[in-house]
Chains A and B, each alone.
Chain A
């Protein structure tokens, strides 16, 4: 009887521990990723640099994808407007992939991502003569961590001034 009670109490304590630790993990993840990812596309500003005031230099992609998100299109429209105002500036679009893929496929994927950005800039009036595409595959991560947030920062196309 007594033994049974001890056993029950132990179980309760155990259960409480489980709940607590679950909460702890959940909270940690929440503060880490909150406001920085949507789906698995990076939405934070940690690594973003600016070509000019209000003109972010990069857009982010979902795993294995090269589709531009609403936020990415907004960034690229700002870049196109800035490029139209600065007709002497040419750009290199550097396409990147995260580390969770084979090297050769990632080179192709980086090229595809940078081209998605290029196509969008072209529809907003930027001549293809002003744009060079350069894929780095997974060779140049900005965040070296092996976690979903780091990977999301690395799946990107960065617009860099060429001159």
Chain B
């Protein structure tokens, strides 16, 4: 469905160490770094060329807008108003007048150029340290014109990485469940969009109930729960080809699927006779293994990034709590001991934290704790919210939030939200319909 994307790295000038600018992303950033995103310059001939194919008047400005929007929503950067810029984009890209950019308090500057060459889109961009008056990075990409949004995301990732020292998360997608209709008869469809909400597409028609889609961290495969033929089962979906298949041959409901970090196994729950246990299935040889064996409900399993441990949700103590065990099911330890109920544990891609949903005194919280259960931190409180999913760099969580319904059945909504690990920068992610169960993909390009 989506074409494999080929992006050629054209020029690569090695990054100089010891730049003055550094953005600390470990604390709540109340003073985002002021920076200027100068529109990518474009000559008249290239502009006309792209206008014809992409129906965009100025593709240079469009790409800059993507970069600007990404950096702003990260909460770490404050892109300055373009009206204050003194230097024209083409001249700035050749040699910025640093005094001018300093005057408007920009600490970093992004410039660049777009060309239409042989039906291809060629983009070069530079990142400048305004105070030190030097270039920090220069890169160029050549790709098919239709990839212009992705070019914007890749530039954003490069800038983020250069300024924070950590990988970005902009060239990514979100798969989620689109919701419509009355609460008692909700129509649910799988949908996918770019991380910034663009390119929204529906992957199923809504004929059957679908829930909890999750990306394979190693490919563009998705696993999810479908009520096809009124039999709730875990399915695999290849989002490039649209082919679907049921996972395993279980005599009952399978649910709560996730991939192993190498993408070779699916871990999920199988419910039978009032008990839910955790199973894995190897996608190559189809071998099924039973991981937990307990009369309680064991569900919502999630692997550690090295694949050696599994965190999961169990009510074996009497109520929903979070546990960690080895990947063969041995050495089960409860790690949540705070007041209230705990669910939906998800291991951070960095390995150090587990995100969760907590229910306490009628409120729902999204929080994080260390993998031994210590250092619990609640990031956000609301009437109802759950199902956190990590950005691939482990810095941002996306989840969904529902509002109350009054006795006439009015007021209900379900929306996607994101929040930084610091508990700051909470934002709603706009979707064309109501939305739930978000899952963040890995970086599409590396």
Task: Spell out A's residues near B (CB within 8 Å).
Answer: 64, 66, 99-105, 107-109, 111-112, 115-116, 119, 133-135, 139-147, 150
New A-B contacts (19) at CB < 8 Å, excluding given A102-B313, A141-B183, A145-B409: A99-B402, A100-B362, A100-B384, A102-B300, A102-B343, A102-B359, A103-B386, A103-B436, A104-B300, A107-B211, A108-B269, A112-B297, A115-B273, A133-B252, A135-B271, A140-B184, A145-B407, A146-B405, A146-B412
B171 near A: Cβ within 8 Å? no
B108 near A: Cβ within 8 Å? no
Q: List the 8 closest A-B pairs by CB distance, nearest first.
A: A115-B274, A102-B343, A144-B183, A108-B276, A146-B404, A108-B297, A112-B274, A111-B271
Contact B271 A144 (CB under 8 A): no
Residues of B within 8 A of A100 (CB): 359, 362, 384
A118, B437: Cα distance in complex, Å: 30
Q: Which of A146, A147, A150 has the most CB of B within 10 A?
A: A146
Residues of B within 8 A of A135 (CB): 232, 253, 271
Residues of A within 8 A of B274 (CB): 66, 111-112, 115-116, 119
Residues of B within 8 A of A150 (CB): 407
Contact B297 A141 (CB under 8 A): no
Q: Which residue of chain A has its CB nearest to the CB of B231?
A: A134
Residues of A within 8 A of B232 (CB): 107, 134-135
Contact B269 A104 (CB under 8 A): yes
Q: A107-B271, A111-B253 are in contact. Are A142 and B212 (CB under 8 A)?
A: no
Tell me the number of A-to-B contacts counted with CB atoms below 8 Å.
104
- Report, as a range, how many residues of chain B touch the other chain: 35 or more
Contact A104 B253 (CB under 8 A): no
Contact A102 B386 (CB under 8 A): yes
Q: A99-B402, A111-B276 are in contact. Are A104 and B343 (CB under 8 A)?
A: yes
Contact A99 B255 (CB under 8 A): no
B66 near A: Cβ within 8 Å? no
Taking the closest CB of chain B, its distance from the CB of A141, in whole angstroms, is 6
A115, B273: Cα distance in complex, Å: 6
Residues of A within 8 A of B201 (CB): none
B375 near A: Cβ within 8 Å? no
Contact B253 A142 (CB under 8 A): no
Residues of A within 8 A of B320 (CB): 101-102, 105
**Contacting B253 at CB < 8 Å: which of A107, A139, A147?**
A107
Residues of A within 8 A of B362 (CB): 100
A152, B225: Cα distance in complex, Å: 26
B202 near A: Cβ within 8 Å? no
Q: Which residue of chain A has its CB nearest to the CB of B319?
A: A64
Contact A104 B405 (CB under 8 A): no
Taking the closest CB of chain B, its distance from the CB of A110, in whole angstroms, is 9
B33 near A: Cβ within 8 Å? no
A84, B365: Cα distance in complex, Å: 48
A66, B184: Cα distance in complex, Å: 22
Q: Which residue of chain B has its CB nearest to the CB of A66?
A: B274
B355 near A: Cβ within 8 Å? no
Residues of A within 8 A of B63 (CB): none
Q: Which of A100, A102, A139 has the most CB of B within 10 A?
A: A102
**Contacting A104 at CB < 8 Å: which of B186, B209, B256, B315?**
B256
**Contacting B184 at CB < 8 Å: which of A116, A133, A144?**
A144
Residues of A within 8 A of B299 (CB): 104-105, 107-108
